[in-house]
């Protein structure tokens, strides 16, 4: 199904609303298809590789609740088709801020919508971290020793 940029922006704004309020699952339901998939690309030693996959609202909610406390996402670019990633896939840039750490970084979300205009697939791909944060860092997402101070 072919989409236009306006539909992608609406879906991305709903996604931002959901990730900025991870304990409010109703926002995630408004933004995402019930069987949506999130692929989290790695940071640190896993940069550029798939680190974790979350399927369904419950798993996505669990991932969002692992994000650092006080993290805030916003869109930072216009959506563009991403045919090299997949059919009907769009990409849009985002920024995230962690005010308590005085930290800002960005990344790209690749997304595909279902027939209802909800996100059915999303690849979360953060930009590389600054050298002072990345040096010797390990991507520990999903492991028991995962710390909420880890930057995603």
Cα separation, 139 vs 136, in Å, equals: 10
Least confident of 34-38, 59-63, 83-87, 147-151: 147-151
Cα separation, 32 vs 13, in Å, equals: 11
For 105-118, the pLDDT digits (tens) are 999 999 999 999 99
For 40-97, the pLDDT digits (tens) are 998 877 788 999 999 999 999 999 999 989 999 999 999 999 999 998 999 999 999 9
Domains and CATH numbers, the chain: 5-130 (3.10.450.50)
């Amino acid at each position: 199904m072919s989409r236009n940029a306006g539909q992608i922006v609406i879906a991305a704004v709903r996604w931002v609303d959901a990730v900025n309020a991870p304990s409010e699952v109703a926002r995630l339901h408004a933004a995402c298809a019930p069987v949506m998939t999130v692929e989290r690309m790695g940071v640190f030693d896993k940069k550029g590789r798939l680190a974790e996959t979350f399927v369904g609202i419950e798993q996505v909610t669990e991932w969002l609740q692992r994000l650092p406390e006080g993290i805030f996402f916003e869109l930072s670019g216009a959506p563009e088709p991403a045919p090299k990633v997949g059919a009907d896939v769009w990409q849009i840039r985002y920024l995230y801020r962690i005010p308590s750490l005085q930290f800002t970084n960005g990344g790209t979300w690749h997304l595909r919508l279902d027939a209802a205009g909800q996100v059915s697939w999303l690849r979360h791909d953060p930009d590389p971290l600054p050298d002072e944060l990345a040096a010797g860092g390990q991507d520990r997402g999903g492991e028991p020793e995962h710390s909420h101070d880890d930057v995603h």
